[in-house]
Chain A
Amino acid sequence: MGFSRLRRARAALAVLAVPLLVAAPLSPPAQAQSGTVLRVALVQEIDHLNPFTASFASSTMIGRFAWEFLTLPSAEDATPTGGVAESWNTSPDKLTWTFTIREGMTWSDGEPVTAKDAAFTFNRIMSDPKAAEANGSYVENFERVTAPDLRTLVVEIKKPQASMTALDVPIVPEHIWSGIDDMADPKTDSVDVVGVGSGPFLISEYRPNEIVTLKANRHYWRGAPQIDELQFVKFENADAAVAALRNGEVDFVNRLTQAQFDSLKGEDGIETNQASGRRYRELLMNPGAENIEGQAIGDGHPALRDVRVRRAIAKAIDPQVLVDKVLGGYGELPGGLVPPIYSDFHYTPPAGKRYTFDPAAAGRELDAAGYRKGPDGVRAGPDGRKLEFRLTARSSEDYGLRASDYIAGWLGDIGITVTKNLVSDNEVDETTSSGHYDLALSGWGTNPDPDYILGKQTCASLPAASGSSSSNAFFCDAAYDDLYARQAAELDKDKRAELVRQAQARYYEQAPSLVLDYDNVLEAYRSDRFTGFVRQPNGEGQIMEQTGYWGFYGVRPVEGGAGGDTGLPAGAWVAIGAGALLLLVGGGTALARRRTPAEDRE
């Protein structure tokens, strides 16, 4: 029996040891380190750090800190400003762009940054399909890229292009990347490769799904950042990230929901930032989806091909209510596709052309167009088919759930039956991109240069015969395409802006989709530890996920703030000590109780 007794005691000890190990780290796990560290919660995945393959928003955001661009949108108003290139000019035929490379810039390993690096970057994207994965669209119009000398980069293009100063392509060091044969090799995401950069911060550690650490670039050409490290810490759960901000575990959180944002307002030591956003939300109204060869695809309701029906729907919807009730006021009222944050290009419909909420007028217009109410109160077209539409929206999104209720109600009021079809994100993407929808809630992010977002609405962007397009409204209109082409080739800033607004006006009037609002971006940070966050554009924009590195580049620690301290708070030690003691006492008692009867066995 001696053996069994021993074994039992040991088992009891083992069971006890586990929670002890769990609850009582006896030495501080993370030592406070020298220097200031800005910790940013990252709620999105990172696919790659290799800038040739990094496509997710969080990945490209990190890349922006590590590699300087040829030119980039400025912090003040998001208009192009110099990066690797200090100046640029175009030939009279607008087909040759010459960039002068900044003198004295170096890579973090000491090598000089030259025009050859820039030429290598573009040529690699143009010649290697794997290298084109993330940035291929920017070089589509490129004919030839050369570096006649170390400070001159010449880009010859096929047709004039206004967005040449908005190339969102990180310039990488040739001496590192020319040795890489396979761009898709996972090794290209390692610090050995991505660690050499020219931006304000340099990637110094990458633990997938945990953290990306960037160290300040002491030799950055604009001047070294005033913090030592920038860490992006992965959070899977946004509420946990908010709790971490409260506890001081992280210093910055973005992509907050209304509720999270409201709860952080007025909190001690925390500053909130309600910024104008870069995204628009829209109600897609299937205008008769076709592929690029003109064949009808999908199963959209035929009545929606009638622009009068789409306009009537636009007048039956009240965006003010959606902004107030669904977005809790954190949004801006709609106009064109380009959000008001890019004020040069934003289109605000004039009073006479604006769709104002007026169900009675919408009803009259439908009557006049021949869509009359039947005995059941539901309108039917001249062909006798009832106006019964499906409304596809994301079930994962609060907006989708609530806005679809409002829209179904409003359209019901004018005699249009709406069936809500709330499905997964993937299913929304699939049904909308293949034309299998009547109405759908969608949205898209925009960039400082409007070319891409406008280009998505051209006939050329219709899906190929096989395969689907990515989130466009199946718009194909000659007048729009003409305006688009003209703005793309117009190098005069003001004239181009005018064309951009006209293109949006045409889109607005044809209404293949109706912009519903522009969401605010909601962010919060520890103002008791850091200050100097830069908003883009000045005073109204967001700090994180900018088209640039300004947001965190200007950050500096607050005098007396505990930036970088990662040790356990004193309270934690008290709690852990108490827990450990409790377990010891409890465990000891249990052991003792087991021992006693063992003395007097049969």
Chain B
Amino acid sequence: MTTSTTGGPPAADLDERRAGTSTARFVAGKAGGALASLVFVMVLGFLLFRMIPGDPVATMTRDRPTSPEQLAQLRERLGVDEPLWRQFLDYALGLLSGDLGTSYLYNRPVATMIGERLWPTVLLVGTATVLAVALGMWLGIRAAWKRDSAFDRVHTGVALTLWSVPQFWLGLLLLIATQGLFPSRGMRSPDLPEGFLAQTLDVAWHLTLPCVTLLAVIYAQYMLVMRSSLLEEMGSEYLTTARAKGLRDDLVRRRHAVPNALLPAVTLVFLQFGMVVSGTVTVEAVFSWPGLGLLTYDALRGPDLPLLQGVFVVLAGSVIVMNLLAELLYRVLDPRVRAA
């Protein structure tokens, strides 16, 4: 906290109080903004998916002989023929009471379906993101420090190449190249092994390929951001000072340069964490990973409107919440933001 140099304790007190209210105002403002975005998302989620062409009833009955009466009955049960404002009212009221509706195709509560799919996605994308951040930053720091070295050139090249590779292609390639060393689908074996440890290892075994695929494609962004922001810091005079104190190069980098260069990377990490929940449709589709990305993809084929709306609200909501968290955390991380 700032301390006053001119006045006594009362002035400091005042300052503190002012800072307190400004923090509260800041938090309230950001939260209000996030709330407004959520409402917007809610309305958009409803309207957007009604623009998709297609008749869910036709999809549901595609494989079975169906009479016109049956179709009419189904329409009535699902409420697809109700006026739009009615449907919206049902949807909005349901949402306010925490009810995301019932899936057309599967006739199960949307919230339950999303709940089932949430943790596989968080596991997959979360693990891949953590690894990508760690790997990307580590490589980025070293690449920047030894700019134009062989290490820098090779790693920047490799990262950029992988970054531009389509995920599904890389996934399939890995699948074929590993020749059955790793399972080609899903999160668990068809026959579940006994015991918690064995099951955990089973999941880890299944996680390897999708996780490596995702990691390979996304680590480049962390590496390049870290590299460039460290390069910016490298000319700074405080580094010269640090060296003049006789610090080893490693320490100069770790204790002085990197902390200052970290901010853009942290921003990126948080923005990406919002996306963690939304998963990754392509990787999930290649490896039949039962996550939210896949659920969205399946719902689109219906179109299963309640499911789509539910997924959309949850995904958009998580991005908004993560952004809010990032903004709040920024104030803690960077004194300059606090002062502004």
Please report A residues at the B interface, Cβ cutoff 8 Å: 15, 18-19, 21-23, 25-31, 33, 37, 39, 45, 47-48, 53, 55-57, 60, 129-130, 132-138, 140, 168, 184, 186, 207-211, 213, 231, 233-237, 239-241, 243-244, 246-249, 423-427, 429-431, 433, 445, 447, 452, 461, 463-464, 466-471, 566, 569, 571-572, 575-576, 597, 600-602
Residue on A nearest B248 in the bound complex, by CB: A597
Q: Is the CB of A240 within 8 A of B287?
A: yes
Cα–Cα, bound, A466→B55 (Å): 13
Which residues of chain A are within 8 angstroms of B172 by Cβ–Cβ distance? Answer: 237, 239-240, 243
Which residues of chain A are within 8 angstroms of B6 by Cβ–Cβ distance? Answer: none
- Which of B61, B187, B245, B290 is A55 in contact with, Cβ under 8 Å? B61
Residue on A nearest B127 in the bound complex, by CB: A18
Q: Is the CB of A133 within 8 A of B74?
A: yes
Among listed B149-157, B189-197, B271-279, interface-contacting one = B189-197
Q: Is the CB of B65 within 8 A of A33?
A: no
Q: Is the CB of A23 within 8 A of B63?
A: no
CB distance from B277 to the nearest CB of A (A): 18
B119 within 8 A of A: no
B297-315 Cβ-contact flags toward A at 8 Å (1 or 0): 1100101000000000000
B184 within 8 A of A: yes
Which residues of chain B are within 8 angstroms of A30 by Cβ–Cβ distance? Answer: 189-193, 202
Given contacts A27-B201, A426-B55, contact A136 B190 (CB under 8 A): no
B175-217 Cβ-contact flags toward A at 8 Å (1 or 0): 1101111111111111111100110011011011001000000
Cα–Cα, bound, A431→B54 (Å): 9
Q: Is the CB of A235 within 8 A of B72?
A: no
- Which of B65, B108, B130 is A18 in contact with, Cβ under 8 Å? B130
Q: Which chain B residues (123-163) contact chain A, with CB distance < 8 Å?
A: 127, 130-131, 134
Cα–Cα, bound, A248→B301 (Å): 30
- Which of B68, B191, B204, B248 is A22 in contact with, Cβ under 8 Å? B204
Residue on B nearest A54 in the bound complex, by CB: B64
B285 within 8 A of A: yes
User: What would 18 A/B residue contacts be, using CB atoms closer than 8 Å?
Assistant: A22-B207, A28-B193, A57-B63, A133-B70, A136-B67, A236-B287, A237-B185, A239-B175, A241-B184, A423-B53, A424-B53, A425-B301, A426-B54, A429-B55, A452-B65, A467-B75, A470-B62, A597-B248
Given contacts A429-B58, A468-B55, A571-B181, contact A209 B290 (CB under 8 A): yes
Beyond A18-B127, A241-B185, A602-B245, 4 additional pairs, beta carbon < 8 A: A47-B106, A132-B73, A427-B54, A569-B180
Q: Is the CB of A186 within 8 A of B298?
A: no
B237 within 8 A of A: no
Q: Is the CB of A248 within 8 A of B65?
A: no
Residue on B nearest A426 in the bound complex, by CB: B54
Given contacts A18-B130, A433-B55, contact A134 B64 (CB under 8 A): yes
Which residues of chain B are within 8 angstroms of A246 by Cβ–Cβ distance? Answer: 180
CB distance from B53 to the nearest CB of A (A): 4
Residue on B nearest A573 in the bound complex, by CB: B181
Residue on B nearest A574 in the bound complex, by CB: B181
Contact-residue size bin, chain B (C-beta under 8 Å from the other chain): 35 or more
- Which of A133, A429, A447 is B59 in contact with, Cβ under 8 Å? A429
B246 within 8 A of A: yes
- Which of B73, B116, B178, B188 is A129 in contact with, Cβ under 8 Å? B73
B251 within 8 A of A: yes
Cα–Cα, bound, A433→B54 (Å): 10
Q: Is the CB of B71 within 8 A of A426?
A: no
Which residues of chain A are within 8 angstroms of B75 by Cβ–Cβ distance? Answer: 467
- Contact count A vs B, C-beta below 8 Å: 224
Which residues of chain B are within 8 angstroms of A208 by Cβ–Cβ distance? Answer: 106, 116
Cα–Cα, bound, A461→B69 (Å): 11
Residue on B nearest A44 in the bound complex, by CB: B63
Cα–Cα, bound, A39→B130 (Å): 35
Which residues of chain A are within 8 angstroms of B64 by Cβ–Cβ distance? Answer: 55, 60, 134-135, 137
Q: Which chain B residues (37-57) contact chain A, with CB distance < 8 Å?
A: 52-55
Q: Is the CB of A60 within 8 A of B202?
A: no
B231-275 Cβ-contact flags toward A at 8 Å (1 or 0): 000000000000001111011000000000000000000000000
Which residues of chain B are within 8 angstroms of A211 by Cβ–Cβ distance? Answer: 186, 190
Given contacts A233-B190, A236-B294, contact A22 B211 (CB under 8 A): yes
Q: Is the CB of B176 within 8 A of A29?
A: no
Residue on A nearest B70 in the bound complex, by CB: A136
Q: Is the CB of A467 within 8 A of B65?
A: no
Which of A19, A130, A248, A431 has its CB near the most chain B CB atoms (within 10 A)?
A19
CB distance from B115 to the nearest CB of A (A): 12
Residue on B nearest A184 in the bound complex, by CB: B107
CB distance from B192 to the nearest CB of A (A): 8
Given contacts A19-B131, A233-B186, A427-B53, contact A240 B66 (CB under 8 A): no
Q: Is the CB of B189 within 8 A of A29?
A: yes
Which residues of chain B are within 8 angstroms of A433 by Cβ–Cβ distance? Answer: 55, 58
Cα–Cα, bound, A208→B131 (Å): 29
Which residues of chain A are within 8 angstroms of B180 by Cβ–Cβ distance? Answer: 243, 246-249, 569, 572
Cα–Cα, bound, A28→B193 (Å): 9
B105 within 8 A of A: yes
- Which of A29, A31, A233 is B185 in contact with, Cβ under 8 Å? A233
Cα–Cα, bound, A426→B189 (Å): 34
Cα–Cα, bound, A25→B203 (Å): 9
B288 within 8 A of A: yes
Cα–Cα, bound, A234→B189 (Å): 11
Q: Is the CB of B73 within 8 A of A210?
A: no
CB distance from A251 to the nearest CB of B (A): 11
Which of A29, A211, A425, A466 has its CB near the most chain B CB atoms (within 10 A)?
A29
Which of B55, B191, B245 has its CB near the most chain A CB atoms (within 10 A)?
B191
Which residues of chain A are within 8 angstroms of B208 by Cβ–Cβ distance? Answer: 22-23
Cα–Cα, bound, A236→B297 (Å): 10
Residue on A nearest B198 in the bound complex, by CB: A27
Which residues of chain A are within 8 angstroms of B58 by Cβ–Cβ distance? Answer: 429-430, 433, 468, 470-471
CB distance from A572 to the nearest CB of B (A): 4
CB distance from A154 to the nearest CB of B (A): 24
CB distance from A274 to the nearest CB of B (A): 23
Cα–Cα, bound, A540→B74 (Å): 37
Cα–Cα, bound, A481→B184 (Å): 51
Given contacts A30-B193, A209-B290, A430-B55, contact A48 B107 (CB under 8 A): yes
Q: Is the CB of B53 within 8 A of A430?
A: yes
B60 within 8 A of A: yes
Q: Is the CB of A137 within 8 A of B65?
A: yes
CB distance from B167 to the nearest CB of A (A): 12
Residue on B nearest A210 in the bound complex, by CB: B186
Q: Is the CB of A247 within 8 A of B179?
A: yes
Cα–Cα, bound, A572→B108 (Å): 39
Given contacts A133-B74, A137-B65, A247-B184, contact A236 B288 (CB under 8 A): yes
Q: Is the CB of A429 within 8 A of B63?
A: no
Cα–Cα, bound, A431→B75 (Å): 18
Given contacts A30-B189, A47-B60, contact A25 B201 (CB under 8 A): yes
CB distance from A157 to the nearest CB of B (A): 15
Which of B64, B193, B303 has its CB near the most chain A CB atoms (within 10 A)?
B64
Which residues of chain A are within 8 angstroms of B175 by Cβ–Cβ distance? Answer: 239-240, 243
- Which of B55, B63, B186 is A56 in contact with, Cβ under 8 Å? B63
Cα–Cα, bound, A427→B53 (Å): 5
CB distance from B276 to the nearest CB of A (A): 15
Cα–Cα, bound, A55→B106 (Å): 10
Which of B172, B198, B205 has its CB near the most chain A CB atoms (within 10 A)?
B205
Which residues of chain A are within 8 angstroms of B182 by Cβ–Cβ distance? Answer: 572
Which residues of chain A are within 8 angstroms of B54 by Cβ–Cβ distance? Answer: 424-427, 429-430
Which residues of chain B are within 8 angstroms of A209 by Cβ–Cβ distance? Answer: 290, 294
Q: Is the CB of B63 within 8 A of A602?
A: no
Q: Is the CB of B67 within 8 A of A140?
A: yes
CB distance from B88 to the nearest CB of A (A): 20
Which residues of chain A are within 8 angstroms of B60 by Cβ–Cβ distance? Answer: 47, 55
Q: Is the CB of B55 within 8 A of A31?
A: no
